[in-house]
Amino acid sequence: MKLALVLPLALAAFLGAAQAEEGDDIREASKAESEAFNARMYAQPPGDKAYACFVRRYDAEHLARHPKQKVAAMKLLVSAEFDKEDKELHNSFRLGFRYRHRSGDFDSSGSCNHAVFTRNGSEVRLGCGVDCDGGGIGVALSKDDKAAIVRLERVRVWQNNKPDDEAEHALVGGADDRIFRLDRTDTSECASLVTDRKELAALRHK
């Protein structure tokens, strides 16, 4: 099963990024801890399928205070689906953003491992990775669960949903592009990140 191969790679990519960024020791959450985090992420126990959408559009004042920030807007869709074969809930992500000084829409996607904790317990995150050594992101929640905290070192992205190699780029975390705080919003705000019609219909009914 493809997910069985992808999830260890996602965890490895995330652990490497997290430790390189902060020097944190990471431990995998227990089943109960993962279930509690999923309930926070999706604002309720996710059941067979669930979505959470987070969005941030940076205004001129913010960008003026962060002149090295490359990203002008970002959307994150986190989804969960229960697999009837392995009886496990699998998380995945879709990331969309616009650069500050480049035209076009960029996006990325991949699978997420179960929740992990920093060793001191200060934060719990999902570690998410892109296939074929495409880097990844860490997704945590604010204390009030109203925002997602996205951390990245490098993640592979594509422009305007073009999957060909020529359109492939990478968003690299610089001085002001390592941590993003995105506000929770209605899932319809993330509809542009979904290309499958059935999934889009399910998203709009959430």
pTM, to two decimals: 0.83
Contact 63, 72 (CB under 8 A): yes
pLDDT tens digits, one per residue of 192-204: 898 776 666 666 6
pLDDT band at 164 (very low <50, low <70, confident <90, very high): low
pLDDT band at 206 (very low <50, low <70, confident <90, very high): low
Contact 145, 52 (CB under 8 A): no
pLDDT tens digits, one per residue of 124-161: 899 999 988 899 999 999 999 999 999 999 999 998 66
pLDDT band at 116 (very low <50, low <70, confident <90, very high): confident
pLDDT tens digits, one per residue of 12-62: 444 444 443 444 567 888 888 899 999 999 999 999 999 999 999 999 999
For 40, residues 6+ apart whose C-beta sits below 8 A from its C-beta are: 141, 145
Please give the C-alpha separations between residue 195 and each of 92, 161, 165, 200, 204, in angstroms, as whole numbers: 15, 9, 19, 7, 13
**Backbone region of residue 47 per phi and psi (left: phi > 0; alpha: psi in -120 to 50; beta: other values):** left
Q: Give the distance, in angstroms, between the CA of residue 139 and the centroid of all CA atoms in the same chain.
A: 5
Please give the C-alpha separations between residue 204 and each of 16, 50, 63, 117, 191, in angstroms, as whole numbers: 35, 11, 32, 32, 8
The residue among 56, 78, 26, 47 whose CA lies nearest residue 193 is 78
What is residue 65's DSSP assignment?
H
Q: How far apart are the first and last CA of the chain?
A: 28
Please give the C-alpha separations between residue 131 and each of 31, 72, 120, 144, 199, in angstroms, as whole numbers: 25, 25, 30, 32, 21
